Structure 1
Amino acid sequence: MSSASQIRQQKLIDSIPENGTAKTIGQLAIELRPFYALRDIDERSVKARIRSDVELLKLVYKDLLECEGGRKDQSGKKSITVKWKNNSRPLNRVALSTAQMIAFATIKKMGTHLLPRHMEDSLSVFTSASENEAISQSSALNPQAGDRKNRSAAQKWLSKIQSVPERIEFIEPDVSPDVEEKVHRALMEESAIDIKYRNNQNWKSVSPLGIAQQGARTYLVALYQKQTTPITLLLARIRDVRQSTAIFESPEGFKLDAYLAKGIAKPESAFLSPDKYGKDIKLKLWVKGDTQWLKETPLSRDQWTELCDSDQPQGDYILSATVRMTEGLVWWLLSMSYHVKVLGPQHLIKRLQHDLQLASQNYSSKLTE
């Protein structure tokens, strides 16, 4: 949206009294003519533009009311009035650039899982503003199309913005809104809470240390009372929460980023010491030629590749990259199936051999359909 349009709509907001008093479109046209009149357009055109802006603002501000007034205009029709409901005039309009409009439209489609629902609802004004901005830009490009066609064009455009999951998409587990809000409040206030987890009927005191989102699942990183090692709890498994009399505790020097660097999944210690998780390793792979996208979306900044046969630029290649050791890395390598072969380090090769042997056993025996 142009800066002129932003200024114009802000002036319109400012001209509607915040005490709930209504103003007619005619009154607004007289006050705002300098901001709406391009060259020598007539009063009727100014009113039409104000009505159009009012319709756009109503999409964002639900407390902006438009109704028929008691007085009649010169044509004998009842005048249209505009007012704010319950002294709710905003300080500023939500003015979005094209980049911001696309960003909020994308957020609306992707969701804001890390936020509690009451905070997620507060973003609705911005996601609505992205739709408003799309309609406004469509109107600027097609001024003769009319509101309905421009609204349809904007919705069609926003429908072209989609988010596609990297792998298989899971359905989010249900999380109690009450649990979610209490956990976030305790996290913000750094206070301990008592929880009932899964089928355990006993209350357990925990100190919330952080929230982490992985795909469709939201996790609470917390410290049980009288423990020294943080644990990861699936938020959907917390059945109830109450305020605790316990004292909030945090391990000395605890950093959420460092904790999550080891991965949310519990380390498999049979092949590698747990303290090695979260540390960098030098991964070396043989990659099948049909997997060229690993060159285009590298695993690390220092990734390099070398063709197995220089005469086949799209053929098999060797890849080397510095990556973090996590269970997520193991799962990703397993998901790549025959498209890659790990050449190092040795502990990772042994782990994959072990897991692939177990997987092979699942398919080697006769299965009952």
Structure 2
Amino acid sequence: MPWCAYGRFSAARPGKTDMAKRPDTLETVLLALELLRRIPRGRKVTASELHRQLKDAGIDRDLRTIQRQLEMFSDHFEIERDDRSKPYGYCWLEQAKALAVPNLTPQESLLLRLAEEHLKNLLPVRLMKSMEGFFSQARRNLGPDSTAQLEREWPGKVRVVATSQPLLPPQIAPGVFEAVSEALYANRWLDLDYQNAAGKRAKVQVMPLGLVQQGPRLYLVCRYQGYDNERNLALHRIHSAEVSTLTFARPKGFDLKMYDDDGRFGFGEGEKIRLTFRIERGAGLHLLETPLSRDQQVEELGDGKLKISATVVDSAMLDWWLRGFGGAVSEVDKKSMKNEET
């Protein structure tokens, strides 16, 4: 039988008088609740792991304080301490009912499993680490022995598919993603050893403004020190990254959504054009369901073709998209919208 199948439980509780004498009672109670929420069932967790989770969540306590709390828990709650070898491990007993620590419902477990899978590259690393206890519980709740059959089956019923040829993600140097996400999260300058696509390598200091996933690649949107324009740096081209102790105020005029809407990740400069082209009906049928823009206009031609007109951002990606249709697309015309905007 697993080591955490048995344990001791004491009804002893600290008296109100003792609690009142402590000036940091509330702080101690909040720390205790955070620890109790993160102690798992069915597997052990060490004091160092909990210490790291709390630190990642912004709760800074020394390791010895965490160890004392866990020792107290094993005396007063249905929590077992595995002291057969160091570091000691702690877990709730399977039948524990001494404290009502909220457990994840099957629906919450499903949501966390999907979030862990699809948001792991879009959330700060410290946040992901601080949530590890919940992710672990969600995985167990939807494991092969789980009674939540419908929720357990759901991940096998949905899938995000590629709209182009699938590619394997490029390798990112160890520690780079962690440093980039931490600097972005804390608004700190970032020291990089970066090599661009042309092979030129340099050490630069940048202001991180956004993290973007495009297909299998991750890009850092940033400003070089001394410049006020944005650049996209591929994370897989960063040889090393170090978070500076210096903070910065995010530029008030920068908006990541607007930056993307301007076609910056389609290798464009944000210039809007009125695009017109002809396309064979079979190849362009999907544009009737998923338009290029809200003002798209479609004209049915008598020769089995469609005439499409739409306001879009001019970019290299747009050109690649048009060339992908080969001979099915003809009479492409681009008209600048600069005069109309002014």
**Could you say which TM-score interval applies, normalised by the shorter chain?**
0.5 to 0.7
- Name the CA shift for 1:92/1:101 in 2 (closer, same or farther; >3 Å): closer
- Would the aligned equivalents of 2:207 and 2:222 in 1 still touch at CA under 8 Å? yes
Partner residue, 2:286: 293
Asked if 1:220 corresponds to 2:212, the answer is no
TM-score of the aligned structures, taking structure 1 as reference length: 0.55
Partner residue, 2:164: 167
- The separation in 2 between residues aligned to 1:126 and 1:297, in whole angstroms, is 38
After superposition, the C-alpha distances for 1:306-334 in whole angstroms (9 at most, x for unaligned) are 2112xx8xx42122223233332222222
Asked if 1:281 corresponds to 2:273, the answer is yes
- Name the CA shift for 1:241/1:340 in 2 (closer, same or farther; >3 Å): same
CA RMSD of aligned residues (A): 4.1
- Name the CA shift for 1:214/1:342 in 2 (closer, same or farther; >3 Å): farther
Partner residue, 1:340: 329
From the CA coordinates, give the structure whose radius of gyration is larger: 1
- The separation in 1 between residues aligned to 2:106 and 2:336, in whole angstroms, is 51
- Would the aligned equivalents of 1:21 and 1:84 in 2 still touch at CA under 8 Å? yes
Partner residue, 2:300: 307
TM-score of the aligned structures, taking structure 2 as reference length: 0.59
- Would the aligned equivalents of 1:170 and 1:216 in 2 still touch at CA under 8 Å? yes
- Would the aligned equivalents of 2:191 and 2:243 in 1 still touch at CA under 8 Å? yes
May I ask how many residue pairs the two structures share in their alignment? 254
After superposition, the C-alpha distances for 1:85-120 in whole angstroms (9 at most, x for unaligned) are 7377884222254xx777656556656322345544
- Name the CA shift for 1:122/1:243 in 2 (closer, same or farther; >3 Å): closer
- The separation in 1 between residues aligned to 2:247 and 2:223, in whole angstroms, is 11
The residue type equivalent to 2:103 in the other structure is R
- Would the aligned equivalents of 1:300 and 1:323 in 2 still touch at CA under 8 Å? yes
- Would the aligned equivalents of 2:281 and 2:306 in 1 still touch at CA under 8 Å? yes
Give the drift of 1:240: 1.3
- Name the CA shift for 1:344/1:200 in 2 (closer, same or farther; >3 Å): closer
- Would the aligned equivalents of 2:194 and 2:239 in 1 still touch at CA under 8 Å? yes
Give the drift of 1:259: 2.5
- Name the CA shift for 1:169/1:121 in 2 (closer, same or farther; >3 Å): farther
After superposition, the C-alpha distances for 1:117-167 in whole angstroms (9 at most, x for unaligned) are 5544566667677767767xxxxxxxxxxx769788876653232221011
Higher percent of residues as strand: 2
Structure 1 residue ranges without an equivalent (≥5): 1-19, 24-60, 67-81, 136-146, 268-276, 349-369
> RCO (CA 8 Å, sep 6+): is it higher in 1 or 2?
2
- Name the CA shift for 1:149/1:180 in 2 (closer, same or farther; >3 Å): closer
The residue type equivalent to 1:264 in the other structure is F
- Name the CA shift for 1:127/1:168 in 2 (closer, same or farther; >3 Å): farther
The residue type equivalent to 1:212 in the other structure is V
Partner residue, 1:49: none
Spell out the pairing of 1:72-83 with structure 2 (5 A cutoff): none
The residue type equivalent to 1:95 in the other structure is T
Give the drift of 1:186: 1.3
Spell out the pairing of 1:72-111 with structure 2 (5 A cutoff): 86=90, 91-97=101-107, 107=115, 110=118
Partner residue, 2:123: 115
- Name the CA shift for 1:109/1:250 in 2 (closer, same or farther; >3 Å): closer
Equivalent of residue 63 in structure 1, options 40, 46, 51: 40
After superposition, the C-alpha distances for 1:274-315 in whole angstroms (9 at most, x for unaligned) are xxx324433222121212122122222333322112xx8xx4
Partner residue, 2:58: none
- Would the aligned equivalents of 1:192 and 1:208 in 2 still touch at CA under 8 Å? yes
Partner residue, 2:193: 196
Partner residue, 1:258: 258
Counterpart secondary structure, 2:282: coil
- The separation in 2 between residues aligned to 1:224 and 1:248, in whole angstroms, is 13
Higher percent of residues as helix: 1
- Name the CA shift for 1:330/1:183 in 2 (closer, same or farther; >3 Å): same
Structure 2 residue ranges without an equivalent (≥5): 1-5, 10-37, 44-77, 82-89, 93-98, 338-342
- Name the CA shift for 1:63/1:106 in 2 (closer, same or farther; >3 Å): closer
- The separation in 2 between residues aligned to 1:165 and 1:200, in whole angstroms, is 32
Partner residue, 1:326: 315
Equivalent of residue 180 in structure 2, options 183, 187, 197: 183
